[in-house]
């Protein structure tokens, strides 16, 4: 007897759908703020009267020099505020591993393979472009990252009704993408290591973990400890955002019997708005401010480093994610959900070519010391992300009517119990409620029909009498 085929990108379970909807709602708002911050940075940096003030603010230093933390504003944004972003990413990853799609190896295979292919192919595209063009291979990792907030902001702006399964795929893909981006930063962009500071950070993390296991509560305990761990990690030579990820992974994301939400979910709910609404937009404000001109944008297509970034984001991401998804479905004998087509997967894969936040960060790390090339690579990231967003918009708009019908089906709740009807089709109580609703509607329509019939008979009778009177 052949094994039953498994559906790829099928309907989510109700708890997973609720979690994804809440997470994406915050990320979408944060993505809109990210767009605003990026546009503000470009205006601030390119208006001649404002350019000098942008440079002055970005390079203004503050912080205790004795602790090795006398950093520029731009540096604080990249190393400090993005630690909050990666802290949330760590919690998301932990939740996916213990309670989400990544818990089931069969379900995890799809986003993991898609994410890996979606990072490997852009890196390969960049490498081949620079090998043939004689450019630097240092930026191979720049086009490998996906910016979920920016991608969701594009979805919000174009008004697509993308089904929850595709949105969840995009979110999970970005979580796995973030994990490997973190590993790339830790392994390939760490130079000299101060083992004393690293040992102090490790000790701090051990204390953080012990306090969590003992159930100690209170932000006044964890926030100061987190700052100490972050400072030690920064001084160790390893990128400070790794501290945020490590602390996020330590939080418990499974619920106990007396809990409505796990500690990880509760902390994520509190910190995510800070990450999406403040940390990431401020990072964008001080990282996206590159000087743009017709000549500078033209140069993006003539230099191998910048061309490799654009091609990696636009072509590499789309081909890598789509190819990884198709290969996973092909070799696991899984079939695509009946409601979707492979064109939908390709559109989402194209949308994943928006690689803003982490791509900008890796660009700064990859070409540290070469300010001109760093700015050119940032311009390439902006141009590549904009191109990917435009292509994805066209592809998604072609299917938007189909998405809207799927969305309306997922959201329909005729019995008004707060649970979409599509999740209750196997519940006898649901059908009894619907039968009672239809009975009440039928009774009301019968009453209306009887009243209308009586009114029509009265009109006919009255009209006949007047006609007879006129004849007499």
Q: Name the strand (E) or helix (H) holding 444.
A: helix 428-471
pLDDT tens figures, 229-253: 999 999 998 888 889 989 999 999 8
Residue 1 has a pLDDT of: 44
Name the phi and psi angles at 61, rounded to 5: -100, 145
Which pairs from 103-112 meet CB under 8 Å and 24+ separation?
Answer: 106/6, 106/332, 109/328, 109/332, 110/8, 110/9, 110/169, 110/325, 110/328, 110/329, 110/334, 111/169, 111/172, 111/173, 111/175, 111/176, 112/176
Instruction: Tell me the torsion sign for CA atoms 404, 406, 409, 412.
Output: negative
Question: Is residue 101 pLDDT above 90, yes or no?
Answer: no
Q: How large is the average pLDDT for residues 337-341?
A: 76
* Token pair for 373: 């090339």
- Cα separation, 139 vs 361, whole angstroms: 11
Q: How large is the average pLDDT for residues 128-156?
A: 87
Question: Is residue 335 pLDDT above 80, yes or no?
Answer: no
Question: Is residue 18 pLDDT above 70, yes or no?
Answer: no
Write the CB contacts of 168 (distance below 8 Å, at least 6 apart in sequence). 12, 16, 17, 20, 101
Inter-residue contact 149 to 317 (CB < 8 Å) = no
Residue 35 has a pLDDT of: 85
**C-alpha gyration radius of the chain:** 28
Residue 472 has a pLDDT of: 44
3-state class percentages of the chain: helix first, strand second, coil last, to nearest 5: 75, 0, 20
Residue 416 has a pLDDT of: 76
Question: Is residue 344 pLDDT above 50, yes or no?
Answer: yes
* Token pair for 278: 């403040």
DSSP class of 88:
H
pLDDT tens figures, 277-291: 889 899 889 988 887
Q: Decide which of 288 and 119 is more confident.
A: 119
Instruction: Tell me the torsion sign for CA atoms 189, 27, 150, 397.
Output: positive
Residue 5 has a pLDDT of: 54
CA distances from 102 to 15, 89, 94, 253 (A): 15, 14, 9, 13
Write the CB contacts of 121 (distance below 8 Å, at least 6 apart in sequence). 316, 317, 319, 320, 323
Q: How large is the average pLDDT for residues 313-337?
A: 88
Pseudo-torsion of CA 8, 10, 14, 20, nearest 10°?
60
Residue 2 has a pLDDT of: 47
CB neighbourhood size of 29 (10 A): 17
Q: How large is the average pLDDT for residues 382-400?
A: 90
* Continuous H helices in 134-274: 148-158, 164-188, 195-213, 219-236, 241-250, 263-274
Question: Is residue 386 pLDDT above 80, yes or no?
Answer: yes
* Token pair for 93: 């990853």
Residue 261 has a pLDDT of: 84
Task: Give the rounded percent of residues in the chain with a pLDDT score beyond 70.
Answer: 90
pLDDT tens figures, 62-87: 999 888 889 999 889 988 998 998 89
* Token pair for 302: 């003539």
What's the start-to-end Cα distance of the chain, in Å? 88
Question: Is residue 39 pLDDT above 80, yes or no?
Answer: yes
CA angle, residues 197, 201, 203, in degrees to nearest 5? 115
Residue 294 has a pLDDT of: 66
Question: Is residue 271 pLDDT above 70, yes or no?
Answer: yes
Q: Decide which of 338 and 316 is more confident.
A: 316
Question: Is residue 159 pLDDT above 70, yes or no?
Answer: no
CA distances from 383 to 6, 18, 35, 114, 389 (A): 38, 34, 14, 24, 10
Q: Decide which of 403 and 73 is more confident.
A: 73
Work out the angle between the directed axes of helices 82-98 and 357-366 (0-180°, nearest 10): 120
CB neighbourhood size of 435 (10 A): 10
pLDDT tens figures, 182-230: 888 888 887 678 899 999 999 999 999 999 999 898 889 999 999 999 9
DSSP class of 99:
T
Provide the 3-class DSSP secondary structure of residue 72. strand
Inter-residue contact 138 to 304 (CB < 8 Å) = no
Which pairs from 186-190 meet CB under 8 Å and 24+ separation?
Answer: 186/238, 186/239, 186/242, 188/141, 189/239, 189/362, 189/365, 189/366, 190/237, 190/238, 190/239
In this prediction, residue 292 has a pLDDT band, given cuts at 50, 70 and 90, of: confident
Residue 121 has a pLDDT of: 96
Mean pLDDT rounded to a whole number for the chain = 84
Question: Is residue 153 pLDDT above 80, yes or no?
Answer: no
In this prediction, residue 385 has a pLDDT band, given cuts at 50, 70 and 90, of: very high
Inter-residue contact 136 to 130 (CB < 8 Å) = yes
Residue 152 has a pLDDT of: 76
């Amino acid at each position: 007897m052949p094994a039953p085929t498994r559906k790829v990108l099928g309907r989510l379970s109700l708890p997973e759908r609720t979690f994804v909807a809440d997470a994406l709602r915050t990320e979408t708002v944060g993505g809109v703020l990210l767009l605003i911050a990026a546009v503000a940075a470009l205006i601030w940096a390119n208006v001649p009267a404002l350019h000098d003030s942008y440079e002055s603010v970005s390079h203004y230093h503050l912080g205790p020099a004795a602790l090795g933390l006398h950093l520029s504003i731009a540096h604080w944004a990249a190393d400090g505020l993005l630690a909050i972003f990666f802290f949330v990413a760590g919690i998301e990853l932990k939740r996916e591993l213990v309670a989400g799609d990544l818990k089931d190896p069969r379900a995890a295979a799809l986003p993991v393979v898609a994410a890996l292919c979606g990072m490997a192919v852009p890196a390969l595209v960049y490498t081949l472009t620079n090998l043939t063009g004689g450019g630097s291979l240092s930026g191979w990792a720049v086009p490998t990252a996906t910016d979920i907030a920016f991608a969701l902001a594009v979805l919000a702006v174009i008004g697509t009704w993308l089904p929850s399964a595709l949105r969840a795929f995009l979110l999970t893909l970005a979580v796995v993408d973030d994990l490997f981006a973190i590993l790339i930063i830790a392994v390939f962009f760490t130079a000299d290591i101060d083992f004393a500071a690293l040992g102090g950070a490790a000790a701090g993390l051990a204390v953080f973990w012990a306090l969590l296991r003992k159930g100690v509560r209170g932000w006044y305990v964890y926030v100061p400890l987190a700052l100490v761990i972050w400072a030690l990690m920064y001084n160790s030579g390893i990128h400070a955002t790794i501290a945020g990820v490590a602390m996020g992974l330590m939080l418990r994301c499974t619920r106990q019997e007396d809990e409505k939400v796990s500690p990880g979910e509760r902390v994520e709910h509190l910190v995510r708005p800070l990450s999406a609404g403040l940390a990431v937009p401020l990072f964008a404000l001080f990282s996206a401010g590159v000087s743009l001109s017709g000549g500078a944008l033209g140069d993006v297509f003539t230099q191998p480093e910048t061309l490799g970034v654009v091609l990696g984001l636009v072509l590499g991401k789309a081909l890598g994610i789509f190819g990884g998804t198709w290969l996973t479905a092909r070799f696991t004998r899984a079939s695509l959900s009946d409601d979707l087509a492979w064109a939908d997967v390709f559109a989402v894969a194209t949308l994943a070519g928006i690689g803003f936040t982490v791509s900008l960060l890796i660009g700064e790390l990859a070409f540290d010391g070469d300010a001109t090339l760093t700015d050119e690579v940032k311009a390439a990231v902006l141009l590549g992300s904009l191109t990917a967003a435009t292509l994805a918009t066209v592809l998604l708009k072609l299917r938007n009517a189909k998405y809207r019908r799927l969305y309306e089906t997922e959201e329909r709740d005729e019995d008004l119990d707060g649970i979409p009807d599509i999740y209750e089709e196997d519940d006898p109580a649901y059908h009894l409620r619907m039968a009672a609703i239809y009975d009440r509607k039928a009774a009301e329509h019968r009453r209306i029909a009887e009243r209308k019939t009586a009114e029509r008979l009265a009109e006919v009778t009255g009209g006949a009498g007047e006609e007879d009177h006129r004849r007499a």
